[in-house]
Each structure stands twice: as C-alpha cells, then as structure tokens.
Amino acid sequence: MNPTQTFIRADRRLEEVIASIRDEQWDMTMPADFVMRGAQAPPTLREVVAYHAYDDDWVPDMLAGRTMAQVGEQTYPKDGLGADPKAAFTAIVDKACAAAAALDDLDRTVHCSFGDYSARDYLVQANYFRGLRSWDIARVIGEDPTIPDDLAVSLLEQIGPHAEQYRAIGVLPPEVAVPADASAQDRLLGMTGRHPG
C-alpha cells in the first residue's frame, strides 16, 4: 500500500478500536507509556482519543498545504468529542480519510507545527502514530489488538527505513528482539519497542 492507502487503513483500524470502547472506560487512567510530552501524569482514555481526533482534524488542512496560521490555531478544539465521542471520532476520521484519498501529490509541502515535510513523510509519521496506537489502546481496553497483516506489512515497509532516526530523537524506544521468522505484526512491534504477546 502507498502512504495514502496506509493512512486510510490505519485510521480506520484506530476507528474500529475506538468504537469498541465501553462507556465506563472513557475516564480510565492509561498506563505510564501513554504520558504525552510535557504532561506530568498519564492521560485518561478520553484524553488519548481526543488527542487523536484533534490530530485528525488537521489532516485535510495539512494535506491541502495550508499553514496552521492560515487556518487559525484555535480552529479545532482540543477535545472535540462532545457527548457522543464515538460518533464524533468517526465523523473526524471520515474527513481525514477523504482528504488522504483525494491527495494527488505526495511531494506537496505539508506545514507541521514542528517543520515542513513532504506529504509522503507527513503521512508515514501519521501512519505510525495511528497504526501502533490502535494496538496500544486495544490491549488496554481488553479488545483484540491484532493489526491486520496488510497494514502491518505496509507499516514495516514505511517505518523501517526511518526507525533508527526516530529512535535517535526519542520517538521510538529501544528495539525489542523478535525471532527472524516472526509475523509482520510482531516484527513491527519489536521494531517500535513493543513486546509482542
């Protein structure tokens, strides 16, 4: 899959996991490895999902080449989930996936808050974030965390060339060794510092 197809697959997989959250789980405190940069304590599950929703809110503007200043940095709420978080999340994912499907130039410049990147590089970063978080969240809420094989293979191909660079800047933890004949999912998990199984 190319980066846009992978984005859609990863975002939809994350949406599937979010749809399985039970009402009583939204306020649960997440494990320590969910602590966001600058935060002093682990977030709640709702805060994690709200962060992903906020990130997805920006996708159509980012892929269109607009800067945050042009859009207005206060345009999207930090928690846009409202009273029906699952429906709100789906609506936001729908818009992000439509924007990815319509992208016709992977070399277009995307203006992120942390610098300018090609749309291709922006999507690879986004794909990693969504694809792996679907596994992380599913495990915490007691759902099947399996990453579909086609998505795992695509993420391996896209993240692999950048893994050590991501590790060097603290985005990825140390690699976890897995058998050479491990599944694509387990190799992806090990490469990104997660313990399969």
Q: Is residue 14 part of a domain?
A: yes
Domain count for the chain: 1
Query: Which range of residues forms the domain containing residue 27?
Result: 3-191
pLDDT in tens, 111-170: 998 889 999 999 999 999 999 999 999 999 999 999 999 999 999 999 999 899 889 988
Three-class DSSP category at 110: strand
Name the pTM for this structure. Answer: 0.94
Is there a domain that residue 108 lies in? yes
Q: Which amino acid is at 102?
A: A
Please state the φ and ψ torsions of residue 106, each to the nearest 5 degrees.
Answer: -70, -10
Residue type (1 letter), 101 = A
CATH number (domain holding residue 118): 1.20.120.450
CA 92 from centre of chain: 13
Residue 183 falls inside a structural domain? yes
Asked if residue 163 is part of any domain, the answer here is yes
**106, 81, 100: which is closest to 92 by C-alpha?**
81
The whole-angstrom separation of Cα 132 and Cα 116 is: 23
Residue 42 belongs to a domain: yes
Domain-located, residue 197: no
Tokens of 77: 């709420």
Digit-coded pLDDT (tens) for 125-141: 999 999 999 999 999 99
Identify the weakest region by mean pLDDT among 17-26, 145-154, 171-180: 171-180
Asked if residue 85 belongs to a domain, the reply is yes
